[in-house]
Amino acid sequence: MEKAMPTLSRRLADRDLRFDLAEEAFRLRRLPGLDRDGRTARTLVKDGPMRVTLIALTPGSTIPPHHAAGPVTIQPVWGRMTVRVEDEDRVLEVGDLLALGAEVEHAVTTPTGVVFALTVVRVGNPDEAR
């Protein structure tokens, strides 16, 4: 059974960071908490106002309607998902990128399971979030 890599042993900010998203998605899908909770996540980048998190959801999982104070991007790296943006469904597959402005309400569903990269740009004082 593969264990999660402790946050303290990874750099979350640096001059440059490179990730193999296919490998990261494979590892995330194998974590034991995914089957138990229906979702799991791993922060890849936490630098000033920017956060990049890889999120895995099991088939049939949902993330209820919510919004972020700053802009976000959603990019599937494995699987398929539907993002409900206000009153319109957007089906996203590997290779797609959806950008949402600040305060745009959205929800997520996945019939097949999905791993996606979520980038959030925080508003306010980014140094407070470090």
Burial class (CB in 10 A: 0-12, 13-18, 19+), 46: middle
Number of domains in the chain: 1
- Domain extent for 57: 40-124
Residue 25 included in any domain: no
The CA distance from 2 to 18, in Å, is 21
Tokens of 29: 């899908």
Residue 64 included in any domain: yes
Residue 4 included in any domain: no
Residue 18 included in any domain: no
Residue 69 included in any domain: yes
pTM of the model: 0.85
DSSP, residue by residue, 40-82: EEEEEEEETTEEEEEEEE-TT-EEEEE--SS-EEEEEEEEEEE
pLDDT in tens, 55-94: 999 999 999 999 999 999 999 999 999 999 999 999 999 9
pLDDT in tens, 33-45: 787 889 999 999 9
